[in-house]
Amino acid sequence: MVRDALPAAAAALLVFAFGVFQALAANVAPDLFIYRLGSQLGLRAQNPYDTATVRSAVVEQFPELNTGPAPLGENCGFFLPPSAVVEFAPFALLPWPDAKLLWAVVNGLAAFAVARVVTLVRPAGQPTGPDLVRMLVPFALVLNFLTLAVVLVGQTTLVAAGCVVAGLVAFGRGWNVAGAVLWALPFVKPHVALPLLPLAWLLGGWKRAAGVLLVVGGLNLLGATFVGGTPLFLLDYVKQAGAGHQAVAFNRAELAYEMTSWNRLLYLASGERVLVEQTAATMLLSYAVGFGLVGLRCVASRTRPSEAWALAMAAALAVVCPQVLGYELLGLVLAVPWVRDLFAAGRHGWGLTAVLLLGVQLVPFPTMQALGIEWHRPGGAMAFALVVLCGPLRPGLTPSPP
């Protein structure tokens, strides 16, 4: 067991070292700076959603990013739910240099969990693959352009994916409270984490889903109390959520070339004639369509999907249904157990297709743009979602009734 974990530990150590080097040698992690600032303001009972305050601090800390056609100082803000005030409190209580070092530690731990994802929900007696594959996969998962970019800017995707993996391990060992807390943490971005609720229900019953939802609600009520002095501040947040978010160029389907969602693909496929900027209502409708298709697929096949397929489907929906940027593609590492099962079952066509579609997302946008391809983010994400939806629900396993 310990020997099997060595490649993942080595890969995670390299991610940690990268984070430490960047923390000490460069002025990086603007997103983490904003999240930490929002938590600081909230803990002081100040409004973290005051965009002017946040932008002023960002310009002061990152003057080099306040240039070009979309300066960061004019395209940022704290848009996370009140739970973020609580979740980023450990960083808010530290000086900025120390907060960056703590972020390196957290990302290193998350990288270890993600690098071990290939061992998740494995059928009894099924090996994880050839020795060489077991050694290389952990490095491929966490030492790539996308993962290092997430660490560099201070985004949450690696940590969120690590929480999902660690939560699955906790649930599997009967540590249900720890699992619920770990699965609640990714809801700092609720529009991305939403598929975790039906996934929790499918894998562990309604009590598991209710436990996750209870922790999410508790964190938000506590954060709302810090910010507004009352849990009812959460209602104020819900009313204004999205308005400032759409004012940021990076968050608009028309302008965000790294966006992965269906509406960005529609915009490009229509020759930039059909533009849909998502609201909370359209996001929920998008998920309703996605969940409906998943339900129809399971009913039509008269098969209960494997845990690995359910993980892959949840990850795919999280990058196609909501309006998100390319950083969230890192969440597709949760599809690795399903890809593993495809190869183990001899479904090499499906497996190679999945690997190709996942691999193309690791190519930087400028590289694809130089080839005249500007749709590989949303196009690849949609294609992968369709491959999972139409692919084997229980590769290598005896079908069981729903």
| Structural domain range at position 316 | 252-402
In this structure, are residues 377 and 267 in contact, taking their beta carbons and an 8 Å threshold?
Answer: no
Residue 16 domain-assigned? no
φ and ψ of 315, to 5 deg:
-65, -40
What is residue 7's predicted lDDT score, i.e. its pLDDT?
92
- pLDDT digits (tens), the chain, 402 positions: 567 789 999 999 999 999 999 999 989 999 999 999 999 999 999 999 999 999 999 999 999 888 877 788 888 899 999 999 999 999 999 999 999 999 999 999 999 999 999 888 877 666 666 777 788 999 999 999 999 999 999 999 999 999 999 999 999 999 999 999 999 999 999 999 999 999 999 999 999 999 999 999 999 999 999 999 999 999 888 887 766 556 676 788 888 888 999 999 999 999 999 999 998 899 999 999 999 999 999 999 998 999 999 999 999 999 999 999 999 999 999 999 999 999 999 999 999 999 999 999 988 888 888 888 889 999 999 999 999 999 999 986 544 433
Q: Which residue has the tokens 């562990």?
A: 204
With 0.85 as the threshold, say if the pTM is over it. yes
- Measured CA to CA, the distance from residue 109 to residue 151 in angstroms comes to 12
Query: What pLDDT shows up at residue 236?
Result: 87
In this prediction, residue 267 carries a pLDDT of: 94
Domain annotation covers residue 342: yes
Give domain status of residue 364, yes or no.
Answer: yes
Contact at 8 Å (CB) between 183 and 168? Answer: no
Angle 375-378-379 from CA coordinates, rounded to 5°: 65
The answer to whether residues 280 and 241 touch, using CB atoms and an 8 Å cutoff, is: yes
In a domain, 227, yes or no: no
* Residue 115 is assigned to a structural domain of this protein: no
- Does the residue 112 lie in any domain? no
Count how many domains the chain has.
1
Q: Does 96 reside within a domain?
A: no
In a domain, 380, yes or no: yes
Tokens encoding 211: 């436990």
The packing angle between helices 176-184 and 157-172, to 10°, is 160
Instruction: Please give, one letter per residue, the 3-state secondary structure of the chain.
Output: CHHHHHHHHHHHHHHHHHHHHHHHHCCCCHHHHHHHHHHHHHHCCCCCCCHHHHHHHHHHHCHHHCCCCCCHHHCCCCCCCCHHHHHCHHHHCCCHHHHHHHHHHHHHHHHHHHHCHHHCCCCCCCCCCCHHHHHHHHHHHHCCHHHHHHHHHCCCHHHHHHHHHHHHHHHHCCCHHHHHHHHHHHHHCHHHHCCHHHHHHHHHCHHHHHHHHHHHHHHHHHHHHHHHCCCCHHHHHHHHCCHHHHCCHHHCCCCCCCCCCHHHHHHHHCCCCCCCCCCHHHHHHHHHHHHHHHHHHHHHHCCCCCHHHHHHHHHHHHHHCCCCCHHHHHHHHHHHHHHHHHHHCCCHHHHHHHHHHHHHCCCCHHHHHHCCCCCHHHHHHHHHHHHHHHCCCCCCCCCCCC
- CB-CB contact of 227 with 78 (8 Å): no
Give the tokens for residue 390: 């139409």
Q: Which of 32, 80, 27, 73 is nearest to 54 (CA)?
A: 73
Note the pLDDT of residue 242. 60
